[in-house]
Amino acid sequence: MGVNSTYAAVAVIVVAVVTLAIGFFGLRFSRTTSDFYVASRSVSPLWNGSAIGGEYLSAASYLGIAGLILTYGADMLWFSVGWTAGYLLLLAFVAAPLRRSGAYTLPDFTQIRVPSPYARALASVLVVVIGWLYLMPQFQGAGLVLHTVTGSPPWVGAVLVAVVVVVNVISGGMRSITFVQAFQYWLKLTALGVPLIFLLHAWTRDGRPSPADVGVGEGWLSPLSYQGTGIAMYATYSLMIALFLGTMGLPHVVVRFYTNPDGDAARRTTLLVLGLLGLFYLMPAMYGLIGRVYASDLAGTGHSDIVVLALPGRMIGGSLGDVLGALLTAGAFAAFLSTSSGLTMSIAGVVAQGPVGRWVAALRPAALSGPATEGVPPLRVAAVLGASVPLLLALVSDRIAVASSVGFAFAVAASTFCPLLVLGIWWRRLTAPGAIAGMLAGGLGSGAAVVATIVRGSDEGWLAILLARPAAWSVSLAFVVMIVVSLATARRVPPNVSRVMVRLHAPERVRLSR
């Protein structure tokens, strides 16, 4: 592939050690349950924006986008556009009210808005399902990358990421991983940006042809060219819906807004994230473009994701190429670690509030706990359990493409939590039966489509694309069912809805002044 295995191994070890060191540094500031769950709601917009960028920019962004652009061309730019634009909707509809809710997790918000143990339980299950769907390919991808660049067995990378992530979460919870993810955003940006300067210089020096002149497929630069027009249009718009609306339903993204001091800070954080994501996403597209010229043989082979790691060796070579390849490998590993940390934290926060929390509390001697730290031991146990299940699945199952699995997670999130958050925040007539029915309809519809796509594999035709890109119909179904059932159960509108709406929409300073 062109990456020196020794350099790459050293880069991975350095990233893992630095990540653990920063996590243990965060332990100095983690003392209470609030520290572990939401960093005592005291994270500034700059730190939080960097941390969100760190966890949101997963391997699908770091490696997958370049590979998709290399293979399919202009259509795949929608991934980076959609993943960024999703924060505009998050900013407009969700960020500030969600922070003002005072919740720790999405199930907490569900309980506040539609008081129902069944709605809360369903929200908890969905958080875990979405988290595992997102987390399993992170472990698989880490194993694949480490195997590719060092020759180690695939399980080594997966286990290494899982261990580092769990140690950080159980050490300092949200406080620790905030420092870790902020560092990893800037590491990923540097790891892509510095080699890109050398690659662009080498491309200019070589005088190679334009990407449009290299034959990987007809119409590489033309949108909607790789499929029939009708199917391609549907696939594109359904993908846009999943990416735009799925962002606000991702548990590991949403939980970060609970860490802001207030609603205004949540909005500033979102604006900062838009800038940080926009800056980052310029670069994977460039790697895909350059890969079209220098690594067109990787397109459509199942190994297109490694184009980012392969280019320094192919274009520059020598010691400089090895160093740049190792830097890119370090960034890729940081992508696995940062995203996995956020996912594990979001899963642990939900699981710790369920049966696991009650079991740990029953087993833990009262003398060892206090009111300020009673939620910490369950969170630690839940972190181990939450990461162990997807790790085992990653080790025993066939590899799922990172970008595909992330797309599936976005579709499920858009079909479940997006309707709940939008209607829960902006429509006072939402009822518990409506919320439950809508989440079930969207979750079962999109989930069944995902399972069918994985079982059937790649296929052509309308049925295949409706299953592979379910968001267009599954999100609509969830909204319609949630509204219709709520109207049919109008007598079940929560009696405290007016108070909750004031809590969600009135600025903190107004409520405090009263």
Tens digits of per-residue pLDDT, 205-250?
A: 877 666 655 544 556 666 665 555 567 778 888 988 998 999 888 8
Residue with tokens 């926009």: 278
Here the tokens at position 323 are 């160093």
Here the tokens at position 355 are 């049966």
Backbone φ and ψ of 107, nearest 5°: -60, -35
Q: Which of 485, 477, 406, 435 is nearest to 123 (CA)?
A: 435
pLDDT of the residue at 82 = 83
Which residues, other chains included, contact 499 with Cβ-Cβ below 8 Å and sequence gap of 6+?
Answer: none
Which residues, other chains included, contact 396 with Cβ-Cβ below 8 Å and sequence gap of 6+?
Answer: none
Question: Which of 50-59, 183-192, 260-269 has the weakest average pLDDT?
Answer: 260-269
CB burial class (10 A; 0-12, 13-18, 19+) of residue 371? exposed
Residues 30, 165 contacting (CB under 8 angstroms): no
Q: Sorting pLDDT into bands at 50, 70 and 90, what band is 370? A: very low
pLDDT of the residue at 28 = 64
Q: Which CATH class is domain 5-385?
A: mainly alpha
Residue with tokens 């520290």: 35
> Average per-residue pLDDT in the chain?
82
Sequence ranges of the domains in the chain? 5-385
Q: How far apart are CA 475 and CA 358, in angstroms?
A: 34
Residues 434, 483 contacting (CB under 8 angstroms): yes
Here the tokens at position 147 are 């195997």
Looking at the chain, the number of H-run helices and the number of E-run strands are 23, 0
Q: How far apart are CA 32 and CA 173, in angstroms?
A: 10
Q: How far apart are CA 360 and CA 296, in angstroms?
A: 54
Dihedral sign for Cα 26, 29, 34, 39, please.
negative
Q: How far apart are CA 357 and CA 303, in angstroms?
A: 42
Q: At what angle do helices 471-488 and 402-426 cross, to 10 degrees?
A: 30
Query: Which tens digits make up the pLDDT trace of 79-101?
Result: 888 888 888 888 888 888 888 88
Residues 52, 256 contacting (CB under 8 angstroms): yes
pTM of the model: 0.84
